[in-house]
Structure 1
Amino acid sequence: MGRVMRGMRMGRSVPAIALAVLLLGHAAHAATVVTEDFGEETLAGDFLSALNADAEKDLDKASFFYQRSLHQDPDDLLFLERALVLSASTGEMADAQRYADTMLRRAPDSRAARLVLAVADFKEGKYPDAQLVLGTKGTDALGELTKGLLNAWADFGRGNTDQALARIQSLKGEAWFEPFKLLHSSYIATLAGRSEDALKLLKQARDADQNAVRITEGYARVLAQLNRRDEAVQVLDEYLTRFPDNPLATATLAEIKSGKPVKPSVGTPAQGAAEVLAGIGAALGDDGGIEVPTLFLRLAMHLDPNASDGLAAVTLGSLLVDNGNGDTGIKLLESVDPAEPFRSLGLLRAALALDQMDKAGEAETAFKASIERNPDDIQARIAFGNMLRSHERFKESADLYSSAISKIPNPGKPDWTIFYFRGIDYERDNQWPKAEADFKKALELFPDQPLVLNYLGYSWVDRGLNMQPALDMIRKAVELRPKDGFIVDSLGWAFYKLGRYPEAVEQLENAVALRPEDPTINDHLGDAYWKTGRVLEAQFQWRHARDLGAKEPDLALINRKIAARQLIEKDADPAPQGQPATPPQQSQPAPGKASADAPPAPDKI
């Protein structure tokens, strides 16, 4: 980078260095130093802006500033590599291909350049060229799987089915290779007219994982193609009892029941390559940063805009929203083709994203439009209810949950969350008998569900009802989730309400250790300290609860205790039919997100 890359060392945390190593196979020379001489203000400013955008995971800005830096210093390898990866990751494929051509000449080992150019060849049906640029060996597990599967699809595109299947079979590596190998072997066998072979492969995959919707969908399609439609329907019906309203399973079931010819899951080598990239991109997640999964998903959508029946766009949009690229993510979520199964999920995620961005009005409009478009979409009603509940619009939220429940003829175990959420709404809206009935229904559907045990048990304790059963419930919840500070707090508070103060202190100290930042738990511990004669520690905990951001009405009572330097109980215990002054601390999912105990999300691959 000439004069600009001298003197000042870049921090190790900058994503550019890690990605350069990952995708180039070596660190670009320019990634080690930057300037003390800011004589060329535009270049220095653009580079620092690019680094800042990297740190903020703002892909659009990073792409813009790296490309501008490259324009000013076209010899710098770091700028070239970053411009290549980021232009591809933001969907600027013409620019990405141009940078990839240059990169391949200057850094022949660049995996990013080879992947981008191979995708361009797949799109044009140039399968020999794609194989030439890909090479045959990856340098790590991710590269080995990606190259192996893409080369297999190129083999098939060239008419070499046996070679394609043998190549996939020969792939050695991690245990997580297997579902990819089986699924793509089945896709190729199906297109080659070897449906019986495809069925065996899919059965093997399904035996290993009956929750993966792509495997179940492929298995059902092949059964239908073999004129075994009744079995296909049975497979999908069983799947939908466990994962109600899954968009892909629902659409596939309707297609099979229509009696019309059933299309294969994948129709062309380019679509097969898109499935490879989309599947791996989705599996990568964002634990190691967002650029690699974003690159894979963008390349998949370049090959097939509707890759994975629209799921690639939903996955990429959600990934961007979750990492601060909300506007771009929402556009992707809303871009899913109306004919694709995951269209409704995309719109649903877009509405949730708007709410997360404090655009509640726009989110509400989007939810209402989604429900109007598809009145039978239960998930949209639940997600809208979750949003309203998060804004403490409990009555409206409960009405939405009720409308969702009315569309479930025979609620099963996966439906426990709807009754649980509606119970919370009723409890906060001072309708205790209805709330209690819903919590009991949730436990009927999912016995010993710890979140429900905690909420119902705490509510009983705070009302002075069913004290021993309540204590037993909360103890069971703690046994099931011993590291959940909110549930441990409930147990401590139950002991407190029973007058068993030493036991309350023990549990509440454990709860504070698990959730030190929570004001309610700290306040509870202060009360328990006071009851056991630990006056100074009680005053410290009350002040700490105040400083942690306690909210009304708890804050007013905490301030009274601090001012009086003594415990002040709530003015009156709530009536049995009333609402507790402090609701149970909830380890529940945030609005629009799945609980660890809830059924997997409908887009599980």
Structure 2
Amino acid sequence: MSRLLLSLLLIFCFVACGEKSPPSDEATPGVTIKQVQTVSTSSDAASVQSAVKTVSEPVDRACAYFYFLWGSHAEYNQDFEASLDAFEKALACDPSSIVIEKKIPILLMNMGETDQAAEWLAKTIQHDPNDKLQYMQLAQIRIQQMNREEAIQLYQKALALDPDDSSVLVGLGILYNYQMEFDKAEGIFRRLLAKNQEEYHAWLYLGRLLNLRQNREEAIAAYEKALALNWSADLVYEMVDFYADQEKYGEAMRLYDSILKREPDNKRARLGRVQTLMSMGEDQRALNELLTLQKESKHPAQLDTSVSKLLLRLGHTAEAKRLLERHRQDAEGMEARYLLALIAYQDSDFKKALSYLRGISGRSDAYPEAVYLQVRILREMGENGQSVSLLMKNISDPELRQPLFFALLSSLYQEQNKNIAAMEVLDSGIRLYPANEQILFEHALLLEKTGKPLEALQSMEKVLQLHPDNPEALNFIGYTWADQNINLDKALIYIQRAAAIKPNSGFIHDSLGWIYFRLGQKEKARDELLKALELEPEDPDIHGHLGDVYLSLHVLDQAILSYENALRYSYDPKKRRLLQEKIDQQKKSPAPAR
């Protein structure tokens, strides 16, 4: 096929160019030799375009068409550099061709040259401002560059050209969602559905948005509508997670069964049923289903580890150990070794546990957890020096180091009140892994701990750039703002989003209660803090916050009781002193509501 296309190109050249030779670098009609060399070798898109636009000689369309076909052929064969070179020469032959001009940024994007592609698109938009596709292409680049504000502006310009384009509307709605402009996002999705109830993507993204906004019942309806319009296993798995988060395990089982009805041997769905049964506390049913799956499997030994985990949950430790020992020496038996180490650790046989863990290969997926468990065991044995040495050894070896190890070593130093050393470890981790959420998160916590709240916020905002739905990062930023009594409306949005993602976190409900208190919504604050205490009944900060809320509501006996509970669970001398002062003050001379 490739040879045939090349032959056709040559035939075309003879027909179109007559007696002229095929265009070459030595003699491209209408362009000097120096100009062609500049065009074909330059990696700067702006200089290429500038060179071809200054040519004043007549257009040679035959030359342009030849190189256009050549470039298309190279593009088809995934030879993007050759294709780019050919399209640049085609544009040199016909600088007025918008079609050729628009091909170049697409190629640059395929080559990963997004900055150059953006430069080209900015110029081609000037030449053809009515092509909405160009706005959307440039918007995608801006999204990759984390410049969502400009991406939104570009989508808005595309929408102005075609107000009813559903793909543009959906993209704009998604961007608003990421920017936490939930009202705008929801308005767009509902606008789409008002015109067309069969708009699958609108239902899907509306469901996701409503889930974030904790409007669970409407989210369920939207998800189910999307699934009815376009059934897919990927959407089913997403909905399974949605229902499981709400502990609606019956719905999760129904969805798994919908997959198995279509694909009875779908291993992921069958294992999903097993996991759901475990979440329901029906471990024996889960084991029975897993054993059935194992009998039917062509590779039953691959499920031995999963069977062992269930046996351990059911208290059949000896049986689980026998099964795991079969695979301890296997090349793929690293997880079995880890589980045997975990059993030994739970039996307080630290020596045997360490023996198992030290036999786990550095190339194994189980290795990071194996190092973590070694550190934990050594700490319990009082061997902090060995823990530090183990982590230092792993961090210094490029083949063994993992982001987790930097976070662990930093935490060990912090326990020893060596905050400077802890910060140095995290700084070195960030240099090696600048886009690692865990290291950036720990870095932000340490900055906050060492009295650098502004720098801590900046570090945590980097976490959100990498993962906009990180609930801990959302909670950290929202709570910090609430505690400083700033950005309260935005803080509420952040914490509500965190609560939607992680509804069973007492600390997030504490933050939500605190922001309601700052906003003057005292009853809502009380309710959220009581919910937080159901999840974290021994947290002194939650008790202290509840005391402040009761005090503002003039419920003085409950305020004093909350402060006393906070005092009971607090080990921080400074906080204990402040709590005792609050208790003494209210017992002697009750303060008015704030």
In terms of Rg, which structure is larger?
2
Give TM-score, length-normalised by structure 1. 0.45
Structure of greater relative contact order (alpha carbons < 8 Å, 6+ residues apart): 1
